[in-house]
């Protein structure tokens, strides 16, 4: 797991670098906002970044706002680690889009725990994003059968979107996962089949009488 | 005033007892002191209030990590004075901070202090 650290103070950078490396993270250090911004725009950018606020040039707050404006689907988890300790600073930092805020000098164990929380959040986000993608794919596969269908009152054909009249079963099979198996209901048997059979029997009798 | 300018025990607590790391950070800090003093003096001659505030703020954070309480306090005073934009004695505050930094540099350069760190670091 890769972490970007951005701080202009060599001591803080070194302390963060050593601590995070000890805990098994891969660390990418940057000494200023512009350098960090360039790294964060890359495709292989770290998914978690630890930012100082007060830096020359692009400061942490401006960097945070820029990152939140990125059009990437997965934005990095941002943790401020700064000596700006007033409540108003914390509020401003979080409002600018940071996910967490730690005041310097920081306790290493607390930092470690908060970094873990960050990766936990990222993992949750990734799982949710996968779920949503699966659902979207499933939805795309399910064909839509809804709305107002124009149907012929006599032959029961349905008019499709391209203005063709289709047998109702063809239409439904084309717009859903349903399939048809054909049979004859008792009423129709009596109404259509029986008279037809009777007519055939009649024909046969007539031809036998004629032949005999 | 005889108080030690750096409380390395405080620093060690922050670093979870890692003396090697402490020594490394001390070196980084000492190495940067001349550059910081020059930066602060330059900003004060050009009356760049924002820059003085920023430099003091950054220094405050690093000093806190090393337990350099005198520098930390002087940097905070300077930072707050700059933020308040009062007609304060900026030059006097800067001089206080520079003096504190020099005390820290002298203390950390003391061979007996370093020997203590390296010896115990070799545990």
Q: Model confidence over B75-113: pLDDT tens digits?
A: 999 988 888 876 667 778 888 899 999 999 999 888 888
Residue A75 gets which letter from DSSP? P
Query: Using an 8 Å Cβ cutoff, are A42 and A21 in contact?
Result: no
Q: Does B15 touch chain A (CB under 8 A)?
A: yes
Q: CA A211 to CA A133: how far, in whole Å? A: 74
Which of A56, A83, A107 lies at the smallest CB-CB distance from B61?
A83
Minimum CA–CA partner of B59 in chain A: A9
- Residue B79, CA distances (Å) to A37, A79, B74 in order: 27, 24, 9
Residue with tokens 């934005």: A75
What tokens were used for A119? 């990766």
What tokens were used for A103? 């005041």
Query: Using an 8 Å Cβ cutoff, are A67 and A46 in contact?
Result: no
Name the β-bridge partners of A100. Answer: A79
Q: Within its chain, how far is the Cα of A106 from the centroid?
A: 36
Q: CA A166 to CA A174: how far, in whole Å? A: 10
Judge whether residue B123 has pLDDT over 60.
Answer: no
pTM: 0.73
Which of B16, B28, B64 lies at the smallest CB-CB distance from A14?
B28
Is B61's CB within 8 Å of A9's CB?
Answer: yes
Judge whether residue B121 has pLDDT over 60.
Answer: no
In this structure, the number of other CB atoms found within 10 A of the CB of residue B55 comes to 26
Q: CA A171 to CA B88: how far, in whole Å? A: 85
Best of A6, A11, A102, A108 to disrupt the B interface (most B CBs within 10 Å) is: A11
Whole-number mean pLDDT of chain B? 84
pLDDT mean for each 10 residues of chain A (212 residues): 95 93 96 95 94 93 94 89 93 96 89 97 94 87 74 90 88 83 91 92 87 63
| ipTM confidence score | 0.83
Work out the angle at residue B55's Cα, subtended by the Cα atoms of residues A89 and A19, and round it to the nearest 5 degrees: 70
Q: Locate the DSSP E strands across A83-164.
A: 100-103, 158-159
Is B58's CB within 8 Å of A82's CB?
Answer: no
Q: CA A173 to CA A75: how far, in whole Å? A: 42
Best of B58, B59, B71 to disrupt the A interface (most A CBs within 10 Å) is: B58
Query: Using an 8 Å Cβ cutoff, are A4 and A49 in contact?
Result: yes
Is B29's CB within 8 Å of A11's CB?
Answer: yes
Name the β-bridge partners of A51. Answer: A6, A80
| End-to-end C-alpha distance for chain B, whole angstroms | 33
What tokens were used for A37? 């911004």
Is B16's CB within 8 Å of A11's CB?
Answer: no
């Amino acid at each position: 797991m890769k972490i970007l650290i951005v701080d202009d103070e060599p001591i803080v950078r070194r302390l963060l670098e050593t601590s995070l490396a000890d805990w098994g993270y891969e660390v990418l250090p940057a000494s200023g906002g512009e350098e960090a911004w360039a790294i964060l725009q890359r495709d292989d950018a770290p998914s978690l970044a630890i930012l100082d606020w007060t830096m020359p040039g692009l400061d942490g707050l401006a960097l945070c706002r820029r990152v939140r404006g990125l059009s990437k689907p997965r934005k990095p988890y941002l943790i401020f680690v700064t000596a700006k300790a007033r409540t108003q600073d914390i509020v401003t930092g979080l409002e600018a889009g940071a996910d967490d805020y730690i005041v310097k000098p920081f306790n290493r164990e607390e930092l470690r725990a908060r970094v873990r929380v960050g990766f936990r959040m990222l993992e949750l986000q990734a799982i949710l994003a996968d779920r949503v993608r699966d659902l979207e794919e499933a939805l795309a596969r399910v064909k839509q059968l809804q709305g107002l269908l124009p149907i012929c009152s006599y032959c029961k054909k349905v008019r499709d979107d391209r203005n063709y009249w289709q047998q109702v079963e063809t239409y439904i099979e084309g717009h859903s996962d349903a399939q048809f198996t054909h049979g004859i209901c008792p009423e129709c048997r009596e109404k259509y089949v029986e008279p037809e059979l009777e007519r055939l029997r009649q024909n046969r009798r007539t031809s036998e009488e004629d032949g005999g | 005033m005889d108080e030690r300018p750096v409380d390395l025990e405080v620093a060690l607590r922050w670093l979870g007892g890692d003396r090697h790391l402490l020594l490394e950070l001390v070196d980084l800090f000492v190495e940067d002191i001349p550059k910081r003093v020059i930066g602060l003096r330059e900003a004060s001659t050009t009356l760049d209030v924002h820059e003085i505030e920023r430099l003091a703020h950054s220094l405050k954070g690093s000093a806190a990590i090393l337990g350099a309480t005198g520098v930390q306090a002087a940097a905070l005073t300077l930072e707050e004075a700059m933020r308040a934009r009062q007609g304060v004695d900026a030059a006097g505050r800067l001089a206080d901070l520079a003096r504190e930094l020099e005390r820290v540099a002298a203390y950390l350069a003391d061979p007996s202090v370093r020997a203590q760190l390296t010896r115990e670091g070799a545990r």
